[in-house]
Amino acid sequence: MKRILLFTAMLMMTLGISAQRAAVMEFKAGVGISQADVDGISAIFITYFRPAGYTMVERTQIDRVIDEQGFQRSRLTESQMVRIGQILNVSKIVIGDVNVVMGQYNVDVRVINVESGTIAATEGATFSGSSYRTTMQTLAQKLAGKIAISAGPAVSASTASSSSSAS
C-alpha cells in the first residue's frame, strides 16, 4: 500500500499535478433567518462542494484555527476569513450568506482567492423551504465547476475519435 501511495505521489509530481486545498466557511445568517437554520443549509452545501483538483479542509481544522486566533464565529470579517485561509494553507476559501426575503431563501456564495483576496467566482440560488437539498446540491456543483482545476489539456473521447476519423 505504501508503495502505491509513493508511486502516485511521484507520478503527480512528475506530471506537475498538485492538488490545491480549499475550505468552506459556515455561511452567515442575514435577514429573516436564524444562524441555526443557516448552519444546516451550510452543512448541506459542504456535503456537495467537491471541486476537481482540490482537497477539502475538514470543518474541525477550520474551527481549531478560529479558536486559536480568538475570532468570534458570528462576526468574522472577510479579511479574517482570508487570514484563516492563509493559516490553513488553502488557495480558495468559500463564504456565503443566506437571507429570507418574501418567503424565499436566497443563498449567495463567493469563492475568494486567499493569495490575492479577490473574488474568484460567485453563484447564487433562490428556493422555497421544501427544495433546499436539491438546490444546495446544484449550487455547490455549479460553483465547484467554476473553480475546478484540470490536470492538463483534456481530450474527450468524442473529440479524439472525430479528429482521427477526419485524417
Angle made by CA atoms 46, 47, 49, in degrees to the nearest 5:
60
pTM, two decimal places: 0.77
More confident residue, 46 or 17: 46
Residue 102 pLDDT greater than 70, yes or no: yes
Residue 128 pLDDT greater than 60, yes or no: yes
3-state helix, strand, coil in the chain (%, to 5): 50, 25, 30
Alpha carbon separation from 130 to 41, 69, 104, 105, 133 (Å, rounded)? 12, 37, 11, 10, 8
Residue 16 pLDDT greater than 80, yes or no: no
pLDDT band at 67 (very low <50, low <70, confident <90, very high): very high
More confident residue, 123 or 16: 123
Give the model's pLDDT for residue 112: 96
Angle made by CA atoms 121, 124, 130, in degrees to the nearest 5:
145
Mean pLDDT of 42-67: 95
Backbone angles phi, psi at 80, to 5 degrees: -70, -35
Give the model's pLDDT for residue 121: 97
Backbone angles phi, psi at 35, to 5 degrees: -65, -35
Residue 94 pLDDT greater than 90, yes or no: yes
Residue count (the chain)? 167
pLDDT band at 62 (very low <50, low <70, confident <90, very high): very high
Alpha carbon separation from 149 to 4, 17, 166 (Å, rounded)? 23, 10, 30
